[in-house]
Amino acid sequence: MNYDNALNQIEKILSKNPSNFLQKIVDFLCDNFEKYNWVGIYTVKRDNLILGPWKGPKATEHTRIPIGKGICGAAAETGKTEIIKDVKEDNRYLSCFLSTKSEIVVPIRKNGIIIGEIDIDSDKKDAFTNQDKIFLEKIVDMLSEHI
């Protein structure tokens, strides 16, 4: 699916104000982008990231990640999107699935504060482009209006 089409559909999902909107967005991303193999949303609770809705072939053992730890913790600490082309090359990486080759983590901000993030794992090396970054950063802005 192309990114503009996806943004329109996400807008439609959110405009219906479903109570489980985070799960719906996670499902939508995982179902419509082949290279998005595992999609999850973490929320910040005190000094940790707590896993909320997710979709993928398997559950992750990393359901609580201290801020500052792993790729997820780094993105939450700096507020910057992390794109990891090859997870084997990044020693911050916390391994969840043997099949994962690359990862993107996009912080969710509300009123200037990091309140969570979208984490996506791909089985493809170097899967995430600047277009994915722009696309997902638009989505987190849309989500933060509903959180």
Q: Which residues contact ligand SME by CB under 6 A? A: 40, 60, 62, 65, 70-72, 93-94, 96, 103, 119, 121
Question: How far, CA to CA in Å, does 143 sit from each of 14, 19, 33, 93?
Answer: 8, 13, 19, 26
CB nearer to ligand SME: pick between 94 and 114: 94
> CB-wise, 5 or 59, nearer to ligand SME?
59
For ligand SME, the closer CB: 70 or 116? 70
Nearest distance from residue 131's CB to ligand SME, in Å?
A: 21
Shortest distance in whole angstroms from residue 37 CB to ligand SME: 10
Cβ density class 121-145: b for 16+ within 10 Å, e for less? bbbeeebbeeebeebbebbbeebbe
